[in-house]
Amino acid sequence: MRQQLGVSVGQFEIFVDKKVLEPVVPQSVLKLQWDIADADALLGDLTKDAVAVKGTDADWLPLGVAAARARVDIAHAIGAAREGVIKVALKDGLVGYAAICVRQSDINKLQEKPPELRSLGAFAKEIGLHNSGALTALFNAGHIKATELFNPLTHRNGLYVSDADISAFHAKFTTPKLLSIREKMDSRLIARKLRNAGISRFAPGGRNFGPVYLADDVKKACSVDTSRERSD
């Protein structure tokens, strides 16, 4: 089967894992058995409307390479090629799956979009908390709101914040970086000013959440109006 397609062992294993190809006998039965006709059908579908291009044509890339660059699932890319959603070319001098090429621009159109919300990590960087893990700790403790979403580009779940989540954070908390931007003062001087004013970090039950302060405490003690703070 692998030789019929003209793919490497690694490529063949990916095809099986992604169910581009499936054995005619289940894996639970002694030894996998394959139908060569499935390989012919796959190649036939991929090449039925293919155009011929020269091997030196840089506009066309191997299907697997283009999919990997765009972080598009190979099964999705192959399915789109089989259905005629993207155009396929055959590079001369090559045979089988190795000859099948596509334009990168076409594959890029298959990319799934990441969540439109801002990631918690990006927001943490904006407010000066990216090195402390404070925002994640605040979320895990239930002090701020965020939403766990799947990012199809990274194939991982992540925490994201909406505009309402961000506004709620600013209404309740502040950080030395936010105060530094607001007061046009070095954040180290801000931290010293807070200490001298007797303002402690937000640490309910003695838990450390990093350089995070209650906005009301800062406002009352230092006359720093935090109600209009926004990260750029």
Which residue positions in the chain have pLDDT lower than 70? 24-33, 153-155, 221-232
69-to-23, 88, 111, 113, 166 alpha-carbon distances in Å: 29, 17, 11, 15, 33
User: Are the beta carbons of 100 and 47 closer than 8 angstroms?
Assistant: yes
pLDDT score at 1:
78
| Residue pLDDT, tens place only, 122-162 | 999 999 898 778 999 999 999 999 999 987 766 688 999 99
pLDDT at residue 181, rounded to an integer = 87
How would you write 85-117 as a 3-class SS string? CCCCEEECCCCHHHHEEEEHHHHHCCCCCCCCC
pLDDT of residue 146: 95
Q: Report which of 115, 128, 122 is spatially closest to residue 229, judged by C-alpha positions.
A: 128
Q: What is the pLDDT of residue 226?
A: 40
The answer for 142, left when phi > 0, alpha when psi is -120 to 50, beta otherwise, is left
Give strand pairing partners of 212. none
User: What is residue 227's predicted lDDT score, i.e. its pLDDT?
Assistant: 41
Give residue 164's pLDDT: 95
The secondary element (H helix, E strand) that includes residue 125 is helix 120-126
